[in-house]
Structure 1
């Protein structure tokens, strides 16, 4: 068995650790003008809304938090997405269909969250909203959230079922 597939859980857990650490730069972005923080930026959907959010963050001195948060997101997306995809592939040995669903969800998460975050980062670094990029990010957000949920809960469920099977057998 390929070492990456065999040790997928290390990559996956590192991704989850980065996700937890991202609360540090992302947390302060939730201000009264932008109560959803980074999620509001992802879902903005228009250049005008992106500009309003970025202006509010700028006025609050939070642009550095937003930039570092998005840079951290790139690391999280890669680690978690690859880990979840490899996890699904590894679990496919015991659960052929469910493992493929998890692997596909991990891949979908990887592609959609990178598309969303790249679109956000371009707008943030240029300090200029763009309707096309804002729509792209807003379109990708719900897809990546569902893919994350399916891959995360799927991995947990398959690990529990596999453990129960091993104990019973």
Structure 2
């Protein structure tokens, strides 16, 4: 089953194939040393001195190559680390952007809820006031109507009806 990978989620560190150079160098040195011994027209002492010189030279060359290889490996590791750090920083930035957006949405929701509550409380107060005004108006109308219908009698200061 084939999987599709998102390139943004995969970190690839390429392998530098120059590591084979050391093996080939050592093989070449060994073959060269063997050939030099077989075809050497010089005496044993001269051959030993030459081999010693060549061995020192080969040792210096091997140290140079290993130093160079070490630098290349360190550079590759640093590039890989830098790439990972860059991706982590971008991911953190994206997460922080989303967190900020969510926080803004929550704040906006709270403000909208507070405004809706204030509007609802105002509507309830207006409704109560209108209801109270309506009851007062109704009571006043009923009282006026009752006063219009009731017989007209004069009342004295002591509360007794005056005869007329």
Same fold (TM over 0.5): no
- More contact order relative to length (CA 8 Å, sep ≥ 6): 1
TM-score when normalising by structure 1: 0.30
Larger radius of gyration: 2
